[in-house]
Amino acid sequence: MSADKNLSAHLVSLSVTSGARRCILNSGGKSLTFDQLALAAPKGQNTVLLSGPIKARDVYRHFGKAPGTPHSHTKPYICSKGRKSERARVRRASRGYKN
């Protein structure tokens, strides 16, 4: 929540930082747990449930065009990202392929 807006809200979450909790309480809102929400609104009336992005996992960085091909931003499955490992891909035909 922005500090300059005075909006009261009832927040239900697994964890809340102390600064966010302070902002919510100062604006007249409440910070609840999921058990307290179940008691307050058993059928879920007037509630909005939000969740984070499903594809936020790091594994999705590896999906897509093959790493090293033109216009590809996928992450290769390699252990080291130093000076030598897989730096010659696409530059030499002997290292996989050359475009």
pLDDT in tens, 31-69: 999 999 999 999 999 999 888 899 999 999 999 998 878
Q: Say if residue 1's pLDDT is above 70.
A: no
Residue 37 structure tokens: 């929400």
Judgement on whether residues 1 and 45 belong to the same structural domain of the protein: yes
Q: Which residues are within 8 A (CB) of 98 and not within 5 positions of it... i.e. 6 or more apart?
A: 90, 91, 92
Residues 45 and 67 in one domain: no
pLDDT for 22 equals 92
Q: Same domain for 45 and 32?
A: yes
CA dist 10 → 22, 25, 64 (Å): 13, 9, 40
First to last CA, the chain: 50
Higher pLDDT, 25 or 90: 25
- Domains contained in the chain, number: 2
Tell me the pLDDT band of 7, cut-offs 50, 70 and 90: low
Question: Of 12, 27, 50, which residue constitutes the final position of a domain?
Answer: 50
91 and 63 within one domain: yes
**Same domain for 58 and 17?**
no
pLDDT at 86: 77
Q: Which of 35, 50, 65 is the last residue of a domain?
A: 50
Range of the domain at 23: 1-50
Q: Please tell me whether residues 59 and 83 are part of one structural domain.
A: yes
Contact 48, 62 (CB under 8 A): no
pLDDT of res. 3? 55
Both 30 and 65 in one domain: the answer is no
Using the Cα atoms of residue 59, residue 63, residue 66 and residue 72 in order, give the sign of their dihedral. Answer: negative
**Is 17 found in the same domain as 5?**
yes
pLDDT at 90 over 60: yes
